[in-house]
Amino acid sequence: MKLFYFSSNVNKYNEIKELLPFPVHFQKARFIKQQQTLDETVLKKLKQLQNLYYHQAMLVDSTSLEIAGLHGLPGPYIDAFLSLGYDNIEEIVKKVGRRAKVKNVLGLALFDEFILFDGVCDGTIVETRGEYSSGFDKIFMLDRDCYTLAEHVFKERKVISPRGHSVFYLLKYCEKNKITHLFQED
């Protein structure tokens, strides 16, 4: 059975592909963001895709940046928040505080079942640093680290990122349920 990862961002696919011990195929897909939780967003994506790709194993994910002083905003609307510019974001966090977390929810559709895996990293919003990634990776520093995600090369970032954590839980699920072999291609 082929496993497909649906996204509009090939870089996310490359991160997931590197972490999985079995093949995963990229399928470009655009989804409209709606005001809902990450779990609801991922489930909605899977349900939309299930109608088109009924007998395929599918992965989708969604990520949010939650700043404590903004009561969890911007949430999944990271792109809109980043459009303010790094200097304006810096001014905001100076006023409301730098504590933040990044959440990633990875959803697997397998047969008629949807399974969700959460990856969460606590950290701090800092002034923009790093060249190995873009977006919020340039301003998010993990608690246990002194570098932003964008200061880590891809090989390091893919393991320590929230998406990396979600994939870790996916793999644990596959091992526990002895289903890893389903995704091996002949």
Q: Where are the domains of the chain?
A: 3-183
The count of other CB atoms within 10 Å of the CB of residue 38 is 20
The two tokens of residue 129 are 């640093």
Q: CA separation (Å) from 80 to 6, 15, 56, 108, 178?
A: 21, 23, 32, 27, 40
Q: What pLDDT is recorded for position 182?
A: 85
The count of other CB atoms within 10 Å of the CB of residue 100 is 23
The two tokens of residue 158 are 């893919």
Distance CA 75, CA 137 (A): 15
Query: CA nearest 73: which of 43, 91, 99, 48?
Result: 99
Distance CA 167, CA 155 (A): 15
Tens of pLDDT along 68-95?
999 999 998 888 899 999 999 999 999 9
Q: What pLDDT is recorded for position 31?
A: 85
Q: What pLDDT is recorded for position 54?
A: 76
Domain 3-183 fold is Maf protein (3.90.950)
Report which residue type is found at 18.
E
> Hey, is 78 helix, strand or coil?
helix
Q: What pLDDT is recorded for position 186?
A: 61
Q: Is residue 6 within 8 Å of residue 29, measured between CB atoms?
A: yes
Q: Which residues of the chain have pLDDT under 70?
A: 186
Q: CB-based burial of residue 119 (10 Å sphere; 0-12 exposed, 13-18 middle, 19+ buried)?
A: buried
